[in-house]
């Protein structure tokens, strides 16, 4: 993964006198890697030990596919790692073409700067005061506001019958389109809130919380200085900058050095301790305060994937078949819109991670949580992070139905209303159970035993109401049955 120190050094080195370059090089103790290149490492296939090895080193893995891993790293490191293991293919020697960007250019484009985003979120809340409210959910390390937009009817009330769904964008600074997709979903819900369709039902029946930019410091840095910046802007004190927010969550944090790195210069540096970063604490605190959430989507780019936990282990979660079904369904819905193929499944589709948002959310709350890697596809090179503005609208359009559907799953929740097998959580097993009892018909012993929740001897609408109530209170988490 790319370090700020090295990238800055090469950029300034090109622009300024060699003497300054030398001083900077001396000030930064990490390995000299001004010779960073873009390369394909064919042996680094998904799930391979070579890929894990690369991820643990000072290598920026930008995409992984059946062709291998596209990485940014110094030639010397690649030589050292690649020796005897299939080597690497040089894709691009001068990657400075990706390093230019400016606030003015972004303002003039369809992408939002942090300030433009704040203004737009405030505008939305002002334009729809009865169904949208703005919440200051925290501050970044450098003191920037992090806002959430809550979208629901009776927005000033907490309505326990309405499941909460959280949409997050921009854990990673350079993934600009991951800001735009949740923001446009929010706008769609508001604009269509009286149109009589799915958006209106979602506004009436759920609370959708949207945090489009979790990493404002990194985003601003990506806009103003280094387009391909990934992490936040923590000064690590050894000449390197940034913690990977998607390795800093407090579930199985630092489980191994492959799914995250202890090296502050690494692009996947997990930070000094779990939740050491104010940005990850925003999500922790939002989700731990008050009523629990029922589902989460964290948007990233790129690779066209819908991923579910675990990231820290190849072992499936207890809910893997259910999550596979949800992820595959969403991927199919996304694909159906414009024919751009997304794939759903576990982390084996990409690479292992520890300390990411999905593992903490599922590990803590036992609810469905997905990382959606937006377009472009997995075979794109380093510029896969540089989404053209013309991608914003179609990427939003293709992702809208899946987001609506997940909200609807949380709302209707029929298969999810009760922990029928008393496993302590509501999952796909209960779904099967529930349909079987339903098939057996109301009045049957099976049905009564399992679905007569209020114990009055008949299965009726009241039982559904009981289920809905607990579902609303507890989401897909543990239920008191």
* Residue numbers at the binding site for Ca ion (CB under 5 A): 152-154, 159, 162
Binding mask 252-291 for ligand 0X9 (x = CB under 6 A): ----------------------------------------
We find the least distance from the C-beta atom of residue 297 to Ca ion, in angstroms, to be 20
Chain position carrying tokens 């057996």: 440
| β partners of residue 71 | 39, 61
Taking CA atoms, 216 is separated from 172, 260, 404, in Å, by 9, 22, 26
We find the least distance from the C-beta atom of residue 103 to Ca ion, in angstroms, to be 37
Report the alpha-carbon angle 382-387-388, nearest 5.
125
We find the least distance from the C-beta atom of residue 465 to Ca ion, in angstroms, to be 17
Question: Is the CB of 28 or the CB of 411 nearer to Ca ion?
Answer: 411
Of 373, 398, 408, 450, the catalytic one is: 373
| β partners of residue 336 | none
What Rg, from alpha-carbon coordinates, does the chain have?
23
The whole-angstrom separation of Cα 196 and Cα 209 is: 21
311 touching ligand 0X9, by CB under 6 A: yes
Question: Is the CB of 61 or the CB of 400 nearer to ligand 0X9?
Answer: 61
Question: Is the CB of 188 or the CB of 219 nearer to ligand 0X9?
Answer: 219
Restricting to residues 335-394, name those near ligand 0X9 by CB under 6 A.
347, 350, 353, 356, 358, 371, 373
Question: Is the CB of 247 or the CB of 300 nearer to Zn ion?
Answer: 300
Restricting to residues 156-195, name those near ligand 0X9 by CB under 6 A.
172, 175
Q: Which of 150, 164, 172, 247 binds Zn ion (CB under 5 A)?
A: 172
We find the least distance from the C-beta atom of residue 150 to Ca ion, in angstroms, to be 9
Chain position carrying tokens 């703005």: 134
- What's the half-sphere exposure (Cβ side, CA atoms, 13 Å) at 230? 26
Question: Is the CB of 363 or the CB of 389 nearer to ligand 0X9?
Answer: 363
Q: How many residues bind ligand 0X9 (CB under 6 A)?
A: 14
The whole-angstrom separation of Cα 283 and Cα 358 is: 11
DSSP character string of 94-131: -GGGGS---HHHHHHSSSPPHHHHHHHHHHHHHHSTTT
User: Residue 94: how many CB atoms within 10 A of its CB?
Assistant: 12
We find the least distance from the C-beta atom of residue 389 to Ca ion, in angstroms, to be 34
Q: Which of 173, 177, 199, 307 binds ligand 0X9 (CB under 6 A)?
A: 307
Contact yes or no for 312/272 (Cβ under 8 A): no
Nearest CA to 430 among 473, 370, 471, 371?
471
300 touching Zn ion, by CB under 5 A: yes
Nearest CA to 174 among 218, 234, 210, 140?
218
Query: Is residue 397 among the annotated active site residues?
Result: no
Contact yes or no for 354/430 (Cβ under 8 A): no
We find the least distance from the C-beta atom of residue 417 to Zn ion, in angstroms, to be 33
Q: Which residues contribute to the site for Zn ion (CB under 5 A)?
A: 172, 175, 300
Q: Which residues contribute to the site for ligand 0X9 (CB under 6 A)?
A: 172, 175, 246, 300, 307, 309, 311, 347, 350, 353, 356, 358, 371, 373
Which residues are designated catalytic?
A: 373
């Amino acid at each position: 993964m790319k370090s700020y120190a090295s990238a800055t050094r090469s950029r300034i080195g090109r622009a300024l006198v060699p003497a300054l370059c030398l001083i900077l090089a001396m000030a930064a103790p990490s390995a000299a890697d001004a010779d960073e290149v873009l390369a394909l490492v064919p042996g680094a296939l998904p799930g391979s030990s070579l890929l894990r090895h690369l991820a643990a080193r000072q290598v920026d893995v930008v995409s992984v596919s059946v062709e291998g891993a596209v990485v940014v790293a110094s030639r010397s490191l690649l030589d050292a790692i690649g020796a005897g293991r299939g080597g690497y293919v040089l894709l691009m020697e001068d990657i400075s073409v990706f390093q230019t960007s400016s606030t003015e250019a972004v303002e003039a484009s369809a992408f939002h700067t942090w300030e433009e985003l704040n203004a737009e979120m405030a505008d939305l809340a002002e334009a729809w005061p009865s169904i949208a409210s703005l919440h200051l959910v925290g501050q970044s390390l450098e003191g920037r506001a992090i806002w959430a937009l809550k979208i629901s009817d009776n927005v000033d009330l907490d309505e326990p019958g309405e499941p909460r769904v959280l949409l997050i964008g921009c854990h990673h600074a350079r993934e600009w389109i991951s800001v735009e997709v949740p923001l446009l979903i929010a706008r769609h819900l508001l604009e269509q809130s009286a149109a009589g369709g799915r958006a209106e039902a979602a506004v009436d029946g759920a609370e959708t919380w949207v945090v489009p930019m979790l990493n404002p410091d990194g985003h601003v840095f990506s806009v103003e200085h280094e387009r391909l910046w990934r992490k936040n802007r923590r000064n690590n004190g050894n000449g390197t900058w940034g913690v990977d927010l998607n390795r800093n969550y407090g579930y199985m944090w630092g489980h191994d050095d492959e799914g995250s790195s202890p090296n502050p210069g690494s692009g996947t540096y997990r930070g000094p301790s779990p939740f050491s970063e104010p940005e990850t604490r925003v999500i922790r605190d939002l989700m731990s305060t008050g009523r629990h959430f029922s589902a989460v989507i964290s948007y990233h780019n790129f690779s066209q994937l819908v991923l579910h936990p675990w990231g820290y282990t190849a072992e499936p979660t207890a809910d893997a078949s259910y999550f596979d079904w949800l992820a595959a369904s969403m991927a199919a819905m996304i694909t159906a819109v414009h024919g751009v193929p997304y794939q759903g499944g576990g982390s084996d589709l990409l690479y292992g991670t520890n300390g990411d948002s999905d593992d903490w959310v599922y590990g803590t709350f036992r609810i469905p949580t997905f990382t959606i890697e937006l377009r472009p596809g997995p075979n794109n090179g380093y510029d896969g992070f540089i989404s053209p503005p013309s991608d914003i609208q179609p990427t939003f359009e293709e992702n809208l139905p899946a987001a609506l559907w997940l909200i609807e799953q949380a709302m209707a929740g029929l298969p999810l209303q009760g922990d029928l097998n008393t496993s302590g959580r509501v999952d796909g097993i209960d779904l099967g159970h529930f349909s079987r009892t339903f098939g057996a018909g109301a009045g049957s012993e099976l049905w009564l035993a399992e679905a007569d929740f209020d114990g009055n001897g008949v299965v009726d609408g009241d039982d559904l109401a009981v289920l809905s109530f607990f579902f609303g209170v507890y989401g897909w988490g543990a239920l008191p049955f």
